[in-house]
Amino acid sequence: MLQTRNTLSPNIRAQSIESLNRHLAAAIDLHGQLKQAHWNVRGPNFIAIHLLFDQVAGKILAYGDLIAERARGLGGAAEGTVQVAARLSFLIVYPLGVADEQEHVYAVSGALAAFGESAREAIERATTSGDADTADLFTEISRGVDQQLWLVESHAATP
């Protein structure tokens, strides 16, 4: 870790940096999954879903920046290469060859839900360790991801 005047203990900062980099990797992966869906979606609601996936990808990209900047603010490195993302992301691999809009909605909503669930777990870990600011960051991200999930799931076919 780099020297910083941040008053959190080095142990707390190290725990938060590890969690932040794990989520940075997943955010990079999720952004790529959303772009994959955006580029390949087909169906009667194409334009609405195509634009929605692009909008959601932009939100996820912004969350990645917030995560990386918090890791740096704690004295850590932001590990945001594609290679690191492939190694550290906890998301399931996005199915290639999908074109049907409902299959994309299902895959994207699953990835968003997994990212949101992990953000909520990170809130608990950061709170328990004593890093209220990282917990607050993950709360903001969790709330935003839940909203994006709602927007995507609104396009799911109803039984």
Summarize pLDDT for 70-85 with one digit per residue, the tens. Answer: 999 999 999 999 999 9
Summarize pLDDT for 113-125 with one digit per residue, the tens. Answer: 999 999 999 999 9
Question: CA-to-CA distance for 20 and 65, rounded, in angstroms?
Answer: 11
Which candidate, 118, 29, 25, 122, places its Cα nearest to that of 79? 25
User: Which superfamily does 10-153 belong to?
Assistant: Ferritin, core subunit, four-helix bundle (1.20.1260.10)
pLDDT computed for residue 2 by the predictor: 81
pLDDT computed for residue 5 by the predictor: 85
pLDDT computed for residue 6 by the predictor: 85
